[in-house]
Structure 1
Amino acid sequence: MPMPQAGDKAPGFSLPDQSGATVSLSQFKGRHVVLYFYPKDATPGCTTEACDFRDEHSALVKAGAVVLGVSPDSVASHQKFATKQGLPFSLLADPDHALADAYGVWGEKSLYGRKFMGLIRATFLIGPDGKVVRVWPKVKVAGHVAEVLSTLQGGGADAAEAPKKAPAKAPKAVVKKAPAAGAKAATVKKPAAKGAARKGARA
């Protein structure tokens, strides 16, 4: 399946979370949903991403969003991961990667030259009307959650101001130091006049 784009209706779902409760997209109608797909529980990059969402969770909720993580891991794996990291949001179990397929994030990956099928890290911001607002394909973990939050708050990468360059500094005036007391002033020998040089040659 192709990845949904901004303006498309977000594919619906009903999946169990780490507590075994069924979570459906339809239950969040009228709110923003941050649906993020990650490859595997308890791996370095996925742990960092989950903890970043955890640390900004109150700000994301304040901005009107619900955070939902999705991976092919089991409910038991999600429960262990969420408990260990103190995650305050739902992790949805998608073991047959049906939801990942629906969002176009199950595909060919490569690692150390080896190709295999797996989940591609991506995030979808779904609007209160159930339509996709923004897509982050092939997410890089560093700074990602901050960008999602900025988008929810009305900013986003496109609206963010580029860092302003400091005004160019005026060149410093070169101040020549006066020679120290007692120091001899440098003498510059002037070349002998051409006439004088000729007289010397005749002598």
Structure 2
Amino acid sequence: MSIRSRAARFVAVLAVAAIAPSIAGAQAAPAPTPLKVGEMAPDFTVTVVTADGVAKKPFKLSEHKGETVVLAFFPKARTSGCTVQMESYRDKYAQTFQGGKKVTLVGVSIDSDTALVSWAKDAKFQFHFAADTDRKVGVAYGANAGTGYHKRTLYVIDPSGKISYVAAPFNQMAADAYTDLGAAISHAGGSH
């Protein structure tokens, strides 16, 4: 191979290396940015389910003023990390979520309502799940860039509708994550 053809090949490799990051960046979805403490929580309406089936009335956040709402975005029903997280919520429901008195817990994923009902029934979950199949709630809350699964993000919304606590990401494997969540719920006004 001549020096000239080696030089041309070297220049071609450099050119590809120079444009590859911009091509990759153009194709990658932007990273979601979680909302911040003190911001008003964006209102939304979404289909919710429990172990008993699909709720007759959709969940509308603004209809829950006066109570503490916990939105727990998670990737996918029945996966190992999500099962650990939701089973921890179930097992700590009476203490952490005050048995649902003035505290509403909603697990939010892109799963279908039928998949969430089945999981809730099998695992005896006593809280709501939201079927955010179009990802609109996840996008509004910075848990999803509009493609793929929701990132494990948690919000506590106080009775006035403001975000009072954010865990992004929520570490479902750490015991102190649940302790911190319980304290945030109490601080938000859930223990009146």
Same fold per superposition (TM over 0.5):
yes
Residues 76 and 149 of structure 2 are in contact (CA less than 8 Å); yes or no, is this contact kept in structure 1? Answer: no
Report the AA paired with residue 111 of structure 2. D
Gaps of 5+ in 2: 1-31
Gaps of 5+ in 1: 109-115, 156-203
> Aligned runs of 1:12-23 on 2, under 5 Å?
12-18=43-49, 19-21=53-55, 22-23=58-59
Report the AA paired with residue 44 of structure 2. F
Residues 156 and 184 of structure 2 are in contact (CA less than 8 Å); yes or no, is this contact kept in structure 1? Answer: no
Whether 1:90 and 2:128 are equivalent positions in the alignment is yes
Count of matched residue pairs: 148
- Summarize deviations over 1:72-111 as a string: whole Å, max 9, x none: 0000000011001100000000011110000011149xxx
Q: Which residue of 1 aligns with 2:185?
A: 152
Q: Which residue of 1 aligns with 2:117?
A: 79
- Summarize deviations over 1:171-194 as a string: whole Å, max 9, x none: xxxxxxxxxxxxxxxxxxxxxxxx
Q: Which residue of 2 aligns with 1:8?
A: 39
Q: Distance in 2 between matches of 1:90 and 1:118?
A: 19
Whether 1:40 and 2:76 are equivalent positions in the alignment is yes
Residues 138 and 150 of structure 2 are in contact (CA less than 8 Å); yes or no, is this contact kept in structure 1? Answer: yes
Residues 110 and 149 of structure 2 are in contact (CA less than 8 Å); yes or no, is this contact kept in structure 1? Answer: no
In terms of Rg, which structure is larger?
1
Q: Distance in 2 between matches of 1:82 and 1:135?
A: 25
Residues 40 and 46 of structure 1 are in contact (CA less than 8 Å); yes or no, is this contact kept in structure 2? Answer: yes
Where is the helix percentage greater, Structure 1 or Structure 2?
A: 2
Residues 8 and 132 of structure 1 are in contact (CA less than 8 Å); yes or no, is this contact kept in structure 2? Answer: yes
Q: Distance in 2 between matches of 1:48 and 1:76?
A: 20
Q: Which residue of 2 aligns with 1:128?
A: 159
Identity %: 27
